[in-house]
């Protein structure tokens, strides 16, 4: 019964969610469940083997043919479990589903990507890498994203914007790295165009130049505020305000979103924080942002990602077929 319960989500995904949910469920199946699955199949395989071995050649008909088929199927599943889930997935590559539009149009909602997990075993992430990682708890959008220990149990994918030692700033929406303006051909400013309510926006439209001029232009930097490294978002109106004020907006798009832990409610404190100098990214830490810049809750709002939480680099969009490409 425990084994059946552990694999129930897979059956539910197959029955109710289609191929997309099935593949995503398989890709995220915990290794402990894979081990149990392989052990159970191995027990069945061992139980069939004596019958297969002792049946003389001239009687290998009927039941024997069926038993041989079952034996070969068990072998296939066992080898797949060991090779794919215990060797390839932990050390080489893994499939991930894109759940949100924060990387649009580089990555669409429901794209499947292959992440290269081996590359960061012998090298470190570089600026502009598209990275899969485990985010800090400050990145939560709901309590459901946290496990029993209060850590995030979901993976994010964003673009690596800052590496250890970099000084990253945004000045009225323009990115600067170590004092030099950065060309960002991948960056977009968009508005959601979904016609039906959904948990996550599925479709976007890029804002025109005139529409972008209507947006409150925000700036960003890391500052040492009261002894803590804080991601600071600020405009001519406020800085890390719990409810940012706006001069103009498009369909209630806020100029920024900061985690509750970094919000500053006192206007005098906002001004003090805004006047602090930009700080370098510390060793072994990275700053991530989404390409869909005004529709991404990312490192600007929840901070930095430790090196050990980085999983891999996105190498290929492999599903749906019409979207197959190498993201960059």
- What is the average pLDDT across 16-35? 62
Judging by beta carbons within 10 Å of its beta carbon (0-12, 13-18, 19+), is residue 104 exposed, middle or buried? buried
Distance, CA of 195 to chain centre: 25
Alpha carbons 127 and 130: distance in angstroms, whole number: 9
Alpha carbons 192 and 118: distance in angstroms, whole number: 35
- The lowest-confidence range among 59-73, 178-192, 220-234, 282-296 is 59-73
What angle is formed at CA 160 by the lines to CA 282 and CA 164, rounded to 5 degrees?
20
pTM of the entire predicted model: 0.79
What confidence category does residue 186 fall into, taking pLDDT thresholds of 50, 70 and 90?
Answer: very high
Give the DSSP per-residue string, 138-155: GG-SSGGGB-TTS-B-S-
- What is the average pLDDT across 60-72? 77
Q: Is the pLDDT of residue 75 over 70?
A: yes
Lookup: tokens for 66:
């069926």
133-156: pLDDT as tens digits: 999 999 998 888 888 888 888 899
Nearest in space to 85 (alpha carbons), one of 93, 97, 75, 96 = 93
Q: Identify which has the larger pLDDT, 93 or 228.
A: 228
> Would you say 77 and 69 are in contact if contact means Cβ atoms under 8 Å apart?
no
Please report the pLDDT score of residue 8 as a whole number.
30
Alpha carbons 257 and 324: distance in angstroms, whole number: 32
Lookup: tokens for 54:
């002792």
Q: What percent of the chain has pLDDT over 90?
A: 53
- What is the average pLDDT across 95-110? 92
- The lowest-confidence range among 210-214, 231-235, 240-244, 248-252 is 248-252
Give the helix, strand, coil percentages of the chain, each rounded to 5.
Answer: 35, 25, 40
Alpha carbons 313 and 310: distance in angstroms, whole number: 9
Nearest in space to 206 (alpha carbons), one of 322, 136, 105 = 105
Please report the pLDDT score of residue 88 as a whole number.
55
Please report the pLDDT score of residue 205 as a whole number.
93
Give the DSSP per-residue string, 170-236: EETTEEEETTEE---TT-B-EEE--SS--SS---EEEPPHHHHHHS---EEEEEEETTEEEEEEE-S
Q: Is the pLDDT of residue 246 over 80?
A: yes
Taking all residues of the chain, what is their mean pLDDT, rounded to a whole number? 84
What angle is formed at CA 104 by the lines to CA 255 and CA 96, rounded to 5 degrees?
120
Q: Is the pLDDT of residue 4 over 50?
A: no
Q: Identify which has the larger pLDDT, 24 or 159.
A: 159
Q: Is the pLDDT of residue 214 over 80?
A: yes
Catalytic residue positions? 102, 158
């Amino acid at each position: 019964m425990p084994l059946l319960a552990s694999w129930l989500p897979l059956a539910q995904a197959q029955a109710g969610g289609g191929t997309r949910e099935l593949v995503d469920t398989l890709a995220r199946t915990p290794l402990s469940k894979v081990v149990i699955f392989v052990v159970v199949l191995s027990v069945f395989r061992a139980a069939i083997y004596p019958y297969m071995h002792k049946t003389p050649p001239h009687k290998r008909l009927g039941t024997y043919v069926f038993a041989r088929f079952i034996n070969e199927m068990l072998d296939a599943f066992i080898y797949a479990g060991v090779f794919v889930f215990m060797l390839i997935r932990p050390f080489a590559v893994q499939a991930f589903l894109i759940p949100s539009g924060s990387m649009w149009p580089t990555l669409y909602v429901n794209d499947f990507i292959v992440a290269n997990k081996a590359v960061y075993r012998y090298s470190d992430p570089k600026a502009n890498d598209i990275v899969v990682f485990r985010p800090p708890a400050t990145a939560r959008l709901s309590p459901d994203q946290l496990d029993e220990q209060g850590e995030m149990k979901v993976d994010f994918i964003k673009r690596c914007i800052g590496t250890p030692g970099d000084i990253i700033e945004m000045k009225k929406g323009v990115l600067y790295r170590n004092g030099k303006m950065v060309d960002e051909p991948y960056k977009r400013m968009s508005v959601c165009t979904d016609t039906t309510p959904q948990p996550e926006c599925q479709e976007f439209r890029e804002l025109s130049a005139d529409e972008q001029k209507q947006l409150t232009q925000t700036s960003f930097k890391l500052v040492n505020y009261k002894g803590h490294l804080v991601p600071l978002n600020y405009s001519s109106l406020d800085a890390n305000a719990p409810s940012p004020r706006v001069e103009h907006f498009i369909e209630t798009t806020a100029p920024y979103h900061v985690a509750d832990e970094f919000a500053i409610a006192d206007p005098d404190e906002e001004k003090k924080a805004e006047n602090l100098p930009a700080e370098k990214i510390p060793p072994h830490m990275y700053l991530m942002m989404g390409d869909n810049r005004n529709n991404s809750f990312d490192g600007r709002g929840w901070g930095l990602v430790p090196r050990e939480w980085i999983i891999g680099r996105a190498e290929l969009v492999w599903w749906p077929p019409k979207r197959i490409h190498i993201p960059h």
